Amino acid sequence: MTIEVKLPPIADGVDSGDVAAVIVKAGDSVREDDTLIEVESDKATLPVPSPKAGRVTRVLVNQGDKVSVGQVIVVLEESADSSTETVSAGPAPETAEPPVKPLSPGFTPREDRPIMMDEPPPPPPAAPAQPEAAAASALDDHGPIPAGPAVRRIARELGIDLRRVRGSGRNGRILVEDLDPHIRQYVAARGGAAPGAPAIAPVELPDFSLWGPIRTEKASSLRVKIADKLAQAWATVPHVHHHHEADITALAAMQKRYKERVAEQGASLTLTPFLLKAIVIALKDFPVFNASYDPARGEIIYKDYFHIGVAVDTEAGLIVPVIRDVDKKSILQLATELGDLSRRTRERKVSPDELKGGTFTLSNLGGIGGGHFNPIINTPEVAILGTGRGTLKPVFSADGTVQARLMLPLTLGYDHRVIDGAGGARFLVRLVDILENFEATILGF
């Protein structure tokens, strides 16, 4: 029996990825659940297992190829009859979704898929009389438009009429890439420009080799995803950044006091677990910082859970895994989970689910150095905290004497559509108070 193994759904809202590694070759024997290829998508490298045992007869992808959900990646042969079977290496994606609805002006898409903004917007869609529009309309009249859930969600949120999109996938299936011209047009029209203002064309670079030797290097797919997501966040969210400092002299002494005991439990006690607990306490006092904004409906979505993203510096780029239910975990639990999650993130072994569901993000550069910096909000969250390295500074006490105190630079970034400056100041003042009186706050004083 010949089995065509298709790429299974990678993650919710992700329809494609890049082949990071091809594990098998033609002639190899594989068991059920053996890894066939590894696919890189949404900042994680994921193994694609074999759905059945058999012998590899063909490998249809190479390292570096872009693959889509449903694409045949490997052909296996079983010792059975001569019939042909098509198998997906995972559950089949859903196809039924609500019909496309128009979007309110000014909507910011919540989809994590990066939006490409490196080209000027294409001309407006052709008139309905064009052959492809007529064919798509006819298809819609006689059955569902061939598109997966992620494509439909993007189209619904951006107000794209899928009947006017020609699919490049098998049997005319509409892929995420087929929406790129419409997405670029949407971003150009709404990416911070005033209504009616002309779209800003990308800067045309000069020939740098005219002035000396140069070298070029292909940006990794992760670097492209990071660039596009942050550019989208910066262009569509009005950022405000508020700076402050916290006296963490007592907190650092407590960290040092318990560092060896935590090490005996197999974990490393850094300042980050304390920051996570302090953030959650402040979020409970100011729940709007733990929310998301839906401009399409004019709603603020408050979340009654506290999943904090922690930015991790890796060789491939910045990745933000999420620690769930921070409010329910002890400092020791957070230190242990943070160490494991950071290690697996640097090794690119985190799962897609571990990169989703964050309600607030912490970017701690204290281990590297530097002071205040302005982090970009990790949309669809509405706030982010950036911390630098604590430094000793002379500080006047209440009695007028000067003491050397360990001061931690803090920067709070927030979405001005949801949070006003006074609210940002109150949140940061409360956070500083928690950090400066951490032990008393934890004890309920």
Tokens of 288: 């709007």
Radius of gyration of the chain (CA): 25
Helices 221-236 + 180-190 axis angle, to 10: 40
Q: What is the mean pLDDT of residues 76-88?
A: 58
Angle at 231 between CA 293 and CA 338, to 5 degrees: 70
- pLDDT at position 79, please? 55
- Give the residue, 50 or 9, on which the prediction is more confident: 50
Report the distance separating Cα 93 and Cα 12, nearest Å.
9
- The residue type of 263 is A
Q: Is 104 helix (H, G, I), strand (E, B) or coil?
A: coil
CA 182, CA 273: separation in Å to the nearest integer? 43
Where does residue 327 rank: exposed (0-12), middle (13-18), buried (19+ CB within 10 A)? middle
Question: Which is more confidently placed, 58 or 317?
Answer: 58
- Whose CA is closest to 95, among 9, 18, 168? 9
> What are the φ/ψ torsions at residue 62 (nearest 5 degrees)?
-125, 160
Amino acid at 128: P
pLDDT tens digits, one per residue of 413-423? 999 999 999 99
Q: Are strands 2-6 and 84-88 parallel, antiparallel or unpaired?
A: parallel
Give the pLDDT score at 111.
36
pLDDT reported for residue 289: 98
List of domains in the chain: 2-88 (2.40.50.100), 94-192+218-236 (no CATH), 238-442 (3.30.559.10)
DSSP 8-state secondary structure symbol assigned to residue 147: B
For 19, the enclosing helix (H) or strand (E) is strand 16-22
| 380 cis-preceded (ω within 30 degrees of 0) | yes
Using an 8 Å Cβ cutoff, are 36 and 4 in contact? no
CB atoms within 10 A of CB 89: 21
Contact 419, 288 (CB under 8 A): yes
> pLDDT at position 219, please?
81
| pLDDT-derived band at 44, boundaries 50, 70, 90 | low
Contact between 313 and 222 under an 8 Å Cβ cutoff? The reply is no
pLDDT-wise least confident of 146-155, 348-357, 359-368: 146-155
Q: What are phi and psi of 132, to 5 degrees?
A: -65, -35
Counts for the chain of helices (H) and strands (E), in that order:
9, 20
What's the rounded Cα separation, in Å, for the pair 90 and 51?
A: 8
pLDDT of residue 286: 97
More confident residue, 382 or 398: 382
* 67 vs 61: CA distance, rounded Å: 8
In this prediction, residue 136 carries a pLDDT of 38
Helix segments in 265-330, DSSP class H: 272-285
Cα of 184 vs its chain's centroid, Å: 19
Tokens of 326: 């921070």
Of residues 25 and 40, which shows the higher confidence score? Answer: 25
Catalytic residues: 416
What is the C-alpha to C-alpha distance for residues 272 and 363, in angstroms, rounded to an integer? 10
For every residue of 99-147, DSSP letters joined together read: PP----TTPPP---SPPP-SSPPPPPPPPTTSHHHHHHHHHHHHS--SB
In the predicted structure, residue 86 carries a pLDDT above the cut 60: no
pTM above threshold 0.85: no
Looking at the predicted structure, is the pLDDT value of residue 39 above 60? yes
| Cα 163 to Cα 172: distance, rounded to the nearest angstrom | 12
pLDDT tens-digit profile of 285-328? 999 999 999 988 889 999 999 999 999 998 878 899 999 999 99
Task: Tell the residue number behind the tokens 């309600």, with chain if given.
Answer: 359
